[in-house]
């Protein structure tokens, strides 16, 4: 039903002005975004899809076999569709990479079990960004020039994605779809339409975060400590502008280096100098939030926090203890379609023996499926521009709706080969891309830390339409 979120939907109009303040600076920084849970929504009847779990049984092709690599120049139509998976296996987001790789492998299995794409296999080639722009660029260059990938799923960090796009994929005309980069800086990137993403922008999360702090928690004075990269800058800026528009005061917005550190006492002191009621933690878990949250508690600096997707991570609270944070709230982008998402979760757990713990895993799966369907529609496994040009035609309405099950993917591949219009509805929800390559309709969840059960509990799910500015409470 409509709530105070809808009544304040005008706040989204603030975002455009905020983005101009940081978008240029953000393009050289590094980041990631976190936090992904299934979000229920009342989808229109024509888009409802009932699916079986994706890709049960059968072999999958998870990587190229044999010695040596296949370069772009040696690939021909009918050969493998080689997709790069550029994610962090080391660095501040090292816990996320393995889940993204598994999601990509599961997507490849689905496509290959369905008969492959254009008569060829879907093959996954991986690269480790190290959660660092420089390493991400180096790995992207290897994937493109040595491994001959026709598209890249990645990166996770917005700053890495921006660096890779500007230095590698855009100049080389290679399609890139990020499953986790939510910085608003990606929206206005001059990308020749080669950069897309499957999660919703933090232009949405920042607004909802501010409303949660002001309305749900009743706080009027806060500081925020943010990682100094595209992700942290963007989310901090949108949050601050919206919060102050509601009548609150941001006593300080303090950046910290995008690297692991042994102490953040100086940043904590600066952030809390104005005696705020709470600290908004906009950082990564490893070597960042875990460190300064411990210092804040042990030093008696501040004991009230609000979290976001980047700080929604079990490892933080397993290390520091859950009890000091019991009942505290946070926000995070989330998926939209419960039925499809639940089926994906079942398949993921069956395939790999455990459910993923990272955010944006469904978005990673959907990105690979979207590339495969677009390649089939384009009739090529080697022409990245042609695949890009087919992407919206297979992911956006109108068209017959297909979900992420193996049966649906098989039918979808046959339909596009026959020239029929399809609309892929993924494990994460809508995969409709606008002219900027953004998903404009998505969800933000409001979650609470439950110390007794050592888990995150979804308190409320909010749908956000960035195209219209409408924000609706779904529950």
- Ranges assigned E (strand) in 287-428: 305-307, 329-334, 400-402, 422-426
Residue that the structure tokens 């501010």 belong to: 210
Tell me the fold of 40-199+336-430: Rossmann fold (3.40.50)
Mean pLDDT of the chain: 85
Q: Could you give the C-alpha distances from 79 to 5, 73, 74, 75, in angstroms and in order?
A: 50, 12, 10, 6
Mean pLDDT (whole number) for 163-177? 98
Mean pLDDT (whole number) for 451-468? 89
User: The tokens of 355 are what?
Assistant: 């459910």
Q: Give pLDDT, residue 280.
A: 98
Residue 291 has pLDDT above 50, yes or no: yes
Q: Give pLDDT, residue 320.
A: 97
DSSP 1-21: ---HHHHTGGGGGHHHHHHHH
Burial 169-193 (b: 16+ CB within 10 A, else e): bbeeebbbbbbbbbbbbbbebebeb
- Ranges assigned E (strand) in 305-454: 305-307, 329-334, 400-402, 422-426, 429-430, 441-450
Residue 60 has pLDDT above 50, yes or no: no
* Residue 151: Cβ within 10 Å count: 29
**CA gap 201, 235 in Å, rounded:** 9
Residue 128 has pLDDT above 60, yes or no: yes
Q: pLDDT grade, residue 474 (50/70/90)?
A: low
* Residue 69: Cβ within 10 Å count: 16
Residue 21 has pLDDT above 50, yes or no: no
CB 108 within 8 A of CB 64: no
338, containing H or E segment: helix 338-352
CB 278 within 8 A of CB 327: no
* Residue 419: Cβ within 10 Å count: 7
Residue 112 has pLDDT above 60, yes or no: yes
- Among 284, 288, 312, 361, CA closest to 209: 312
SS3 286: helix
Summarised one tens digit per residue, pLDDT across range 205-244 is 999 999 999 999 999 999 999 999 999 999 999 999 999 9
Domain boundaries, the chain: 4-24+202-335+440-473, 40-199+336-430
CB 250 within 8 A of CB 242: no
Summarised one tens digit per residue, pLDDT across range 388-435 is 999 999 999 999 999 998 899 999 999 999 999 999 999 998 899 999
In the DSSP assignment, the letter for residue 200 is: B
Q: Give pLDDT, residue 217.
A: 97
Summarised one tens digit per residue, pLDDT across range 133-163 is 999 999 999 999 999 999 999 999 999 999 9
User: The tokens of 60 are what?
Assistant: 């999958």
CB 137 within 8 A of CB 168: yes
- Among 193, 105, 133, CA closest to 369: 105
Q: What percent of the chain has pLDDT over 70?
A: 83
CB 12 within 8 A of CB 442: no
- Ranges assigned E (strand) in 335-432: 400-402, 422-426, 429-430
Q: Give pLDDT, residue 409.
A: 95
According to CATH, what is the number of the domain 4-24+202-335+440-473? 3.40.50.2300
Q: Give pLDDT, residue 69.
A: 30
Residue 251 has pLDDT above 70, yes or no: yes
Q: Give pLDDT, residue 51.
A: 41
**CA gap 193, 176 in Å, rounded:** 10
Largest CA distance in the chain: 66
Residue 75 has pLDDT above 80, yes or no: no
Q: What percent of the chain has pLDDT over 90?
A: 71
Which has the higher per-residue pLDDT, 445 or 87? 87
Domain 4-24+202-335+440-473 matches domain 40-199+336-430 at the CATH topology level: yes
Burial 239-250 (b: 16+ CB within 10 A, else e): bbbbbebeebeb
- Among 365, 337, 310, 38, CA closest to 181: 310
The full length of the chain comes to 475
DSSP 42-57: ---GGG----PPTT-S
**CA gap 235, 240 in Å, rounded:** 8
Summarised one tens digit per residue, pLDDT across range 208-217 is 999 999 999 9
Q: pLDDT grade, residue 443 (50/70/90)?
A: confident
SS3 282: strand
Summarised one tens digit per residue, pLDDT across range 253-277 is 999 998 889 999 999 999 999 999 9
* Backbone CA torsion sign across 276, 281, 283, 284: positive
Q: pLDDT grade, residue 468 (50/70/90)?
A: confident
Residue 84 has pLDDT above 90, yes or no: yes
Q: Give pLDDT, residue 77.
A: 45
**CA gap 355, 391 in Å, rounded:** 29
255, containing H or E segment: strand 249-256
Comparing 49-63, 88-102, 313-327, which segment has the lowest mean pLDDT?
A: 49-63
């Amino acid at each position: 039903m409509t709530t105070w979120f809808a009544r304040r939907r005008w706040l989204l109009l603030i975002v455009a002005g905020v983005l101009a303040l940081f978008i240029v600076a953000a393009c050289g920084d590094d980041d990631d975004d976190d936090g992904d849970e299934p979000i229920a929504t009342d989808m229109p009847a024509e888009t409802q899809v009932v699916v079986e779990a994706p890709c049960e049984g059968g072999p999958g092709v998870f990587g190229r076999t044999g010695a040596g690599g296949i370069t772009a120049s040696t690939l021909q139509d009918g050969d493998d569709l080689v997709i790069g998976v550029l994610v962090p296996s080391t660095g501040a987001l090292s816990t996320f990479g393995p889940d993204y790789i598994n999601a990509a492998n599961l997507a490849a299995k689905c496509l290959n079990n369905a008969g492959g794409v254009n008569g060829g296999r879907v093959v996954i080639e991986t690269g480790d960004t190290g959660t660092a722009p420089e390493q991400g660029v180096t790995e992207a260059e290897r994937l493109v020039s040595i491994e001959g990938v026709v598209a890249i799923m990645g990166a996770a960090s917005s700053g890495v994605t921006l660096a890779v796009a500007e230095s590698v994929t855009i100049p080389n005309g290679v399609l890139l779809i990020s499953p986790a980069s939510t910085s608003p800086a990606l929206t206005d990137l001059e990308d020749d339409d080669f950069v897309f993403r499957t999660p919703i922008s933090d232009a949405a999360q920042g607004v909802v975060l501010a409303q949660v702090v002001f309305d749900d928690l009743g706080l009027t004075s806060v500081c925020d400590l943010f990682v100094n990269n595209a992700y942290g800058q963007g989310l901090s800026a949108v949050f601050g502008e919206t919060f102050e528009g509601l009548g609150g005061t941001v006593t300080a917005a303090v950046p910290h280096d995008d690297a692991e550190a042994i102490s953040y006492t100086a940043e904590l002191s600066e952030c809390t100098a104005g005696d705020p009621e709470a600290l908004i933690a906009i950082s990564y878990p490893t070597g960042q939030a875990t460190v300064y949250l411990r210092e804040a508690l042990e030093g008696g600096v501040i004991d009230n926090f609000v979290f976001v997707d980047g700080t929604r991570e079990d490892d933080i609270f397993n290390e520091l203890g859950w009890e000091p944070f019991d009942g505290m709230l946070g926000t995070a982008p989330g998926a939209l379609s419960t039925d499809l998402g639940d089926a994906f979760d079942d398949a993921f757990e069956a395939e790999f023996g455990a459910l993923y713990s990272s955010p944006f895993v469904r978005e990673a799966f959907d990105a690979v499926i979207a590339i495969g369907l677009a390649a089939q529609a384009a009739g090529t496994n080697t022409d990245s521009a042609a695949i890009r040009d087919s992407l919206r035609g297979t992911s956006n309405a109108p068209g017959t709706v297909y979900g992420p099950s193996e049966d649906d993917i098989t039918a979808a591949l046959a339909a596009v080969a026959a020239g029929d219009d399809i609309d892929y509805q993924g494990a994460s929800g809508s995969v409709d891309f606008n002219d900027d390559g953004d998903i404009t309709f998505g969800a933000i969840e409001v979650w609470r830390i439950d110390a007794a059960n050592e888990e995150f509990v979804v308190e409320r799910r909010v749908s956000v339409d960035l195209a219209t500015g409408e924000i609706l409470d779904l529950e």
